[in-house]
Amino acid sequence: MTEPATESRGTTDSRWFAVVAALVLVGTALRPQALIIGPLVGLVQDDLGMSHAVAGLLSTIPVLCMSLLAPFGPVLAGLIGPRLGTAACVAMVGTFGILRGLLPDSTTVLAATVGLGVGMALVGPILPMIVRARLPNNPAAGTGAYVVGFVIGGSITAAVAVPLADAFGGWRASFVIVSAAAFVSLAAWLRLMPRDEGHQRVPLAIPKLPWRRSSAWLLGAIFGSQSILFYGCITWLASIYEERGWRLAAAGGLIALLTGIGLIATLAVPLLADRFGSRRSQLALASLLSIAGILGIALTPGEQPGSILTIGSTALLGLGIGAYFPLALTLPVDVASDSADAASISALMLLIGYLLAAIAPVALGLIRDATGNFGAVMWSLVVIAFAMLPLALALSPGRLRRAGAT
pLDDT reported for residue 2: 44
Rounded distance between C-alpha atoms, residue 211 and residue 216, angstroms = 8
| pLDDT tens series, the chain, 406 aa | 444 444 444 446 668 888 889 999 999 999 899 889 888 988 999 999 999 999 989 988 998 888 888 778 888 988 888 999 999 999 999 999 999 999 999 999 999 999 999 999 999 889 988 887 888 777 777 887 888 888 789 889 988 999 999 999 899 999 999 999 999 999 999 998 888 765 345 555 566 788 888 888 889 999 999 989 998 998 889 899 999 999 888 888 898 899 889 878 877 887 776 677 778 888 999 999 999 999 999 998 888 887 899 999 999 999 999 899 888 988 887 777 776 777 788 878 888 888 888 888 889 999 999 999 999 999 999 999 999 999 999 887 665 554 344 4
Instruction: Give the 3-state secondary structure of the chain.
Output: CCCCCCCCCCCCHHHHHHHHHHHHHHHCCCCHHHHCHHHHHHHHHHHHCCCHHHHHHHHHHHHHHHHHCHHHHHHHHHHHHHHHHHHHHHHHHHHHHHHHHHCCCHHHHHHHHHHHHHHHHHHCCHHHHHHHHHCCCCHHHHHHHHHHHHHHHHHHHHHHHHHHHHHHCCHHHHHHHHHHCHHHHHHHHHHHCCCCCCCCCCCCCCCCCCCCCHHHHHHHHHHHHHHHHHHHHHHHHHHHHHHCCCCHHHHHHHHHHHHHHHHHHHHHHHHHHCCCCCHHHHHHHHHHHHHHHHHHHHCCCCCCCCCHHHHHHHHHHHHHHHHHHHHHHHHHHHHCCCHHHHHHHHHHHHHHHHHHHHHHHHHHHHHHHHHCCCHHHHHHHHHHHHHHHHHHHCCCHHHCCCCCCC
Name every residue whose Cβ is closer than 8 Å to that of residue 295 and which is 6 or more positions away in sequence.
Answer: 313, 382, 385
Yes or no: say if 94 and 183 are a contact pair by the CB < 8 Å rule.
yes
Distance linking the first and last C-alpha atoms of the chain: 42
pLDDT reported for residue 6: 43
Say which amino acid occupies 190: L
Query: Rounded to the nearest 10 degrees, what angle do helices 171-180 and 139-168 cross at?
Result: 140
pLDDT reported for residue 204: 56
Set out the domains of the chain in order of their start, with CATH numbers.
17-194+207-394 (1.20.1250.20)
Does pTM top 0.85 for this prediction? no
